[in-house]
Amino acid sequence: MASSAKSTVDETYDKIETILISQPKPERSPYFDIAKKWGITIDWRPFIHVEPVTEKEFRKNRLRPDDYSAIIFTSKGSIEHFFRMCEEMRVSMSQQTKYYCLSEAIANYLQKFIVYRKRKVFVGTRKIEDLATAFNKHKDKDNYLLPCSNLGAKDVVSYLTENEINFQEAMMYRTVSSDLSDLKDITYDCLVFFSPLGIESLYDNFPKFKQNKTRLAVYGNTTSQAVLDKGLTINIKAPAPESPSMSMALTNYLNKSNKK
């Protein structure tokens, strides 16, 4: 795969018979229809996974969740690992603890772990800025804990810092490259990536990876940049005006590469 980096998508349309998508296999997906329509093989394999930070490791930070009067959740994963850590540390959160959730989906998930009516929960629509009113009302009285992964939460941290909100990051889980050694002797016509971490995992597992004739399908600008930084060629890209989703981008490519 040692081809030179290109700033535009390569428009060579060679036939595709096998595709590997670097994510877990879903129960339902438009990719199933693509595989059936074109008679091709689509496999699924997560290139990254989440590992919990152990209680022993976390204690080295000298942090206790119950020392904080408000918790900020940026994902369902942050909720799971926060309450896992509380359980392992035998910590019970106060009935008065406030919870700030970036979205309604996150807030709904929180109900699995707390008695909702007894807690104060603030819900945004997508961004940390959506919670500005709640922060402005309570920031002088509360200290905030931000459960996060090794990747952090840059947008959230920037907002909290700029608005002089008293907070502490707490890494409770980490995203790491999965072991793909069993794929060493297997080749695919197309690899599909949705994040720069997928590209990082590819090279963690196969440092001498060469693209050769393998097509790379990438989603998002940051993923595209990660591909280009490795000197690889982008063959299929989404979102784009004619293909807002990766499934549509693959369909458009197959309409040309596999036309009968």
Q: Are 81 and 55 in contact (CB under 8 A)?
A: no
Mean pLDDT of 120-124: 93
Mean pLDDT of 120-149: 94
Residue partners of 32: CB distance under 8 A and separation at least 6: 42
Task: Pull the structure tokens for residue 42.
Answer: 């689509």
CB count in 10 Å sphere of residue 201 = 23
Q: How confident is the model at residue 13 (pLDDT cuts 50, 70, 90)?
A: confident
Cα–Cα distance, 220 to 33 (Å, whole number): 23
Q: Are 163 and 91 in contact (CB under 8 A)?
A: no
Backbone angles phi, psi at 38, to 5 degrees: -100, -5
What percent of the chain is predicted at pLDDT more than 90? 88
- pLDDT given at position 206: 96
Which of 11-20, 79-88, 111-120, 239-248 is predicted with the least confidence, judged by mean pLDDT?
Answer: 111-120
Cα–Cα distance list, 11 to 6, 14, 17, 237, 256 (Å): 11, 9, 18, 11, 10
Mean pLDDT of 186-213: 95
Q: How confident is the model at residue 117 (pLDDT cuts 50, 70, 90)?
A: low
Q: How confident is the model at residue 116 (pLDDT cuts 50, 70, 90)?
A: confident
- pLDDT given at position 7: 42
Task: Pull the structure tokens for residue 74.
Answer: 């940026």
Cα–Cα distance, 23 to 107 (Å, whole number): 25
- pLDDT given at position 14: 85
| pLDDT at residue 12 greater than cutoff 90 | no
| pLDDT at residue 8 greater than cutoff 60 | no
Would you kindly state where each structural domain of the chain is located, as residue ranges?
A: 18-47+182-257, 51-175
Mean pLDDT, rounded, of the chain: 92
- pLDDT given at position 1: 32
Q: Which CATH class is domain 51-175?
A: alpha beta
- pLDDT given at position 128: 96
What is the model's pTM?
0.80
User: Do 18-47+182-257 and 51-175 fold alike per CATH?
Assistant: yes
CATH number of 18-47+182-257: 3.40.50.10090
Q: Rg of the chain's alpha carbons, rounded to an integer?
A: 22
Residue partners of 46: CB distance under 8 A and separation at least 6: 22, 23, 24, 178
Q: How confident is the model at residue 2 (pLDDT cuts 50, 70, 90)?
A: very low
CA 182 to chain centroid, in Å, comes to: 23
- pLDDT given at position 245: 96
Mean pLDDT of 152-170: 95
What percent of the chain is predicted at pLDDT more than 70? 95
pLDDT tens digits, one per residue of 172-199? 999 999 999 999 989 999 999 999 999 9
